[in-house]
Structure 1
Amino acid sequence: MPGRTIGWLLGMAAIVAGAAACGGSADAGGGKVRLSLVAYSTPQAAYEEIIKEYRKTPEGKKVTFTKSFAASGEQSRAVASGLKADIVALSLEPDMTRLVDGGFVAPDWNTGPEKGMVTDSVVVLATRKGNPKNVRTWDDLTRPGVEVITPNPFTSGGARWNVMAAYGAKANKGADKATGTAYLHTLFKNVPVQDSSARKSLQTFSGGKGDVLLAYENEAIFAQQSKQPLDYTVPDSTLLIENPVAVTKNSANPEEARAFLKFLYGKKAQEIFVKNGYRPVTDGVPGAEKFPRPSGLFTIADLGGWKKVTSEFFNPKGGIMAEVEKSIGVSVEG
């Protein structure tokens, strides 16, 4: 749709402008290096704190940062269209794959011990304080009169995690495709608005819209830490969220970018992620024990992997979610 295309172009221009405005500038006379971090919206607070800690280290003293935060899909497309980035931190693997295919990220970005993933989380059901509508299961989301808030899966990585969590839970990890697909059609009839990112959906919910927010566990924890009147339930069957990070191939300062990437996997940065509600990807991080492990936890690999899932569910021309959106009058054309 032309209006949406124009909106995306304006949004990308805003991202570029935001990246230029954020963070410190390079000090050419002082031997400082400026790194550009392009990330999805949700972990902004964590990255702000991590950067402050990194700049206290010997490796980080000479480094300043520009920072850009927006929906994962928007960020991936922006980098592919020329937005400068030294480090990209995205919501889900397909957004990184776009950059690999475009020659912006090396194909071996995910060969390390953590497979390129810097944080984990799970999909949860967030409700108003006290859970007034007693929403505890996936079936409760499709009851008449229950409004569910989730972002648009054609712009938001968080939305895709939500969709696949709901589908996998109802489809017995993909074994019953018909039941899972029918559930998505019913679920999205209860979705009154689809924002462009997970953080915007949280803002919508915090503003009073909706009864339930499909969210990352860390988003629900962030909201509680921000004193928002919110409770959340971790369903017995839910999806493990895995968030990728990589250094770009065209980084002007690859050595410094790799040093920061290494810091992200260290104890200090992982502790900060935990404090912000993320599950760590390395062992021995204090606070990791507080996270419940759902009995029916599954991964995207259990559903066939992102390549298969993206083709089947998120192809704007005939994918399952394209049909779901079409049935409720939401456009997926950009």
Structure 2
Amino acid sequence: MSKSRKGRLSWLKGVLSWLNLSMSNRRLKSSSFKSFVQLFVIGLSLTVVIAACTSTNRDTSLTTSQPNEVELNLVSFSVTGAAYEKIIPKFVEKWQQEHNQKVIFKQSYGGSSSQALLVAQGKEEADVVHLSLALDIQKLERAGLINPDWETEFPNNGIVSQSVVALVTREGNPKNINTWNDLTQAGLTLITPNPTTSGLGRWNFLALWNAAKQGGADEKQTRDFLAKIYKNAPILPESAREATNTFIKAQGDVLLTYESELINDALQGKKPPYVIPDVNFSIDNPVAVVDKNVDRHGTREVAAAFVEYLYSVEAQKEFALLGYRPIASSLWQDQALTKQYPPIKSLATVKDYGGWAKIQKQFFDDNGIFVQILKTIKAA
């Protein structure tokens, strides 16, 4: 407690002592009853003041204390784990140096839409979410977990990592897969995640739709094109990771996946053969602080600092090294870093198709084009 506060309390206690003495010396006659009541009220008021001062001092001491450790729950889509293995330790070290506090990360990875559902249902109390597409974060916004202005809280409209779609083939490319059109050939088995559960599944669908449109196809021709391709996909795994694991188990002739996944595999010596179509779709992955959870956990400060760190050149370099196309323009000047990224001739974005609200309704709702295409395949 400060000296000035101690002095005020000492003075107040002295006044109370005088009042008590005065009251004890007075005879409680009816003529002096009014004076007694006045003194009593004054004494009671001063007692409240002292209690408030003491309470204020106690509350301040509690709020200024800081635990030695803080837990941060990160929920992300399935293929970002390799990048966070590099990024999280750097942030932990930085925070420890600057705040003398250890950050312990709890991490969860899975299909983007499935992860969003777990957070929305409270089964994963995420402080930070990094999901495959903004649509999944919008689900958390509608659930009241994230503030409506989340896209304005951080740079680049909340987009913290980017990639494109790649076509992975078997060694030697026996099916001669080089373009989107090659996916329609009879007898081919395609592995791609389910768009209803996987962010990658949606991105793959949009890339295929865009490829047909860019080739001059009308609505019916585009639907027929996708029907031929999805007819070659007998199973639709729940997530990008499950799709990759299915392909690794020698199922399928070609896998549609993130370019970032393949570059990361190549860095680990696996070097899978793949093609990056020069007509492609920008896979924009957003990040957000889960407002309701961080306020309940008391982790807003560290959660916001972690998200801001993901935009730093240091963190973005780690993303770029592990296959995510840099969002920091300065990193594109590093040819040694970016030589692994083939140029894209035509790169479509979500905005080109009216934004996620329109895309969801048109393609992925219960009676959207994707479901209609599956019904067409089953009826054939």
C-alpha separation in 2, matches of 1:178 and 1:300: 21
Once residues 344 and 78 of structure 2 are traced to their aligned partners in structure 1, the CA distance between those partners, rounded to angstroms, is: 26
The residue aligned with 1:34 is 71
Name which of 255, 264, 267 aligns with 2:313. 267
Instruction: Provide the residue aligned with 1:8 in structure 2.
Output: none
SS of 2:165's equivalent in the other structure is strand
Query: 1 CA distance for matches of 2:216 and 2:311?
Result: 32
Which residue number corresponds to residue 246 of structure 1?
A: 288
Task: Give the TM-score of the pair, scaled to structure 1.
Answer: 0.86
What are the superposed Cα offsets for residues 22-71 of structure 1, whole Å, 9 maximum, x if unpaired?
Answer: xxxxxx99521110001111111111221111111135752111111111
1:63 aligns with 2:112: no
C-alpha RMSD over aligned residues: 2.0
Residue in structure 1 matched with residue 37 of structure 2 by the alignment: none
Count of aligned positions: 302
Alignment match, 2:126: 85
CA contact (8 A) 1:59 1:259 kept: no
TM-score by length of 2: 0.75
Q: Which residue is 1:97 aligned to?
A: 138
Q: Where do 5+ consecutive residues of structure 2 fail to align?
A: 1-64
1:43 to 77, 80, 89: 80
Which of 264, 271, 285 pairs up with 1:222?
264
Q: Deviation string for 1:237-292 (max 9, x for gaps)?
A: 11010001001112121010001001101111111111211112122224235422
For structure 1, which runs of at least 5 residues remain unmatched after alignment? 1-27
Pair member with larger Rg: 2
Q: Bigger shift: 64-73 or 170-179?
A: 170-179
Higher helix share: 2
Identity %: 41
SS in 1 for 2:194: coil
Out of 201, 211, 215, the residue aligned to residue 253 of structure 2 is 211
Q: Which residue of 2 aligns with 1:121?
A: 163
Measured in 1, the distance between the counterparts of 2:98 and 2:287 equals: 19
Q: What residue is the counterpart of 1:284 in the other structure?
A: 330
Q: Mean alpha-carbon deviation: is it higher for 82-91 or for 277-286?
A: 277-286
After superposition, give the CA deviation of every residue in 1:109-152 in whole Å (9 maximum; x if it has no partner). Answer: 11243110000100111111221211001110000122111011
4+ long deviations beyond 4 Å: none
Q: 1 CA distance for matches of 2:338 and 2:102?
A: 32
Shift in CA distance, 33/174, structure 1 to aligned 2, threshold 3 Å: farther
- In the TM superposition, 1:169-208 aligns within 5 A as 169-172=211-214, 176-208=218-250
Give me the whole-angstrom Cα distance separating, in 2, the residues matched to 1:126 and 1:219: 11
- 1:306 CA drift (Å): 1.3
Alignment-mate amino acid for residue 70 of structure 1: G
The residue aligned with 1:22 is: none
Question: Structure 1 counterpart of 2:370, which letter?
Answer: M
Q: Is the 8 A contact 1:171 1:178 kept in 2?
A: no
Output one character per residue of 1:150-202: Cα deviation in whole Å (capped at 9) or x when no partner. 01111001000000000011022897322222211111001121100011101
Separation of aligned partners in 2, 1:150 and 1:50: 28
